[in-house]
Structure 1
Amino acid sequence: MDGLIRLWKWRLDERRRVVVDLEILRANLERQMEKLDHELETERKVATQHYEASYGFTAYRKNNRERHANLIVSREEVQDRIAAAQEEVNAAFRELKKYELVKENWERRERQKQERREQAEMDEAGLQGFIRRQERPDNMPG
């Protein structure tokens, strides 16, 4: 049972690492989107201040928006993968708990058996002592 518990703890840890990695990926995609937004705003300011720069701004804005849209799609895909990975974490956790409960129940039953054996031994010792006291000649009615 201990081997199964170790295996499922390892599987749970692995699945949690996948979720963390995906969360990091999602955060990176969001940072890239923010960076694109910031760059677009910077370029817009330059284009409004310099007539020559305004010629290329339309093409730049189109390219920026396409990249931003691609990042949104990627982020949504990663969010779907995060949800699936989180479900795998939950399933691994449930499986681990199942084995841990089996082990706890087994250990509890073993403790109860041991306690019953010890109690039976103490009862037997007490009974033997009582019988010995009863068999002594000084306890005999007279």
Structure 2
Amino acid sequence: MKSRDTVMRLKRFQVDEKRRRVAQIEMMIADFERMVHELEREIAAEEQKSGISDKAHFAYPTYARAAFTRKENLQRSADELKTQLEDARADLEGAFQELKKFEILDDREQARERAAEAAREQSDLDRIGLAMRAGFARA
């Protein structure tokens, strides 16, 4: 019984850890995407201020050029995180399925134990009933 409880706790912990990992990656992706949108607004504002939107132009704003590079890096990082997110979700699904298997096995084991206990109790009651009947038959 104790080892079964320990295994169940371990499996639940693993599922919780994988859920936290998925949530963490999702938050990082959302942060990166938010930063990308902010940089896009800043780039557009800088281009509008200078009147130059051609990145190849010699007078293209330095800040806009740096912001564009940073935006591209953030997008690449977000794409890499999306790949990690897919892997983390697959790991979570696997851990969840394994937890479910153990829960089903645990439920079956508990049902067997309850059935065995009920059979023992019924047997004890049957013996008591027979003993009482035998006692009444003598009287």
TM (normalized to structure 1)? 0.81
**C-alpha offsets along residues 1-46 of structure 1, whole Å, 9 cap, x if unaligned?**
1111111112112111211111121011101111111101211221
CA distance in 2, matches of 1:127, 1:23: 67
Q: Please state if 1:67 is matched with 2:78.
A: no
CA distance in 2, matches of 1:86, 1:131: 67
Higher Cα radius of gyration: 1
Amino acid at match of 2:85: I
Greater relative CO, 1 or 2 (CA 8 Å, sep 6+): 1
Gapped runs of 5+ residues in structure 1?
Answer: 49-53, 137-142
Query: Following superposition, which runs of at least 4 residues in structure 1 exceed 6 angstroms of deviation?
Result: none
Percent identity, aligned pairs only, is 29
Report the number of matched residues. Answer: 132
- Does the aligned pair in 2 maintain the 1:19–1:82 contact within 8 Å? yes
- Does the aligned pair in 1 maintain the 2:29–2:82 contact within 8 Å? yes
Instruction: Look up the match of 1:87.
Output: 90
Q: Please state if 1:40 is matched with 2:43.
A: yes
Greater helix share, structure number: 1
TM (normalized to structure 2)? 0.82
Alignment match of 1:14 (pick from 3, 17, 22): 17
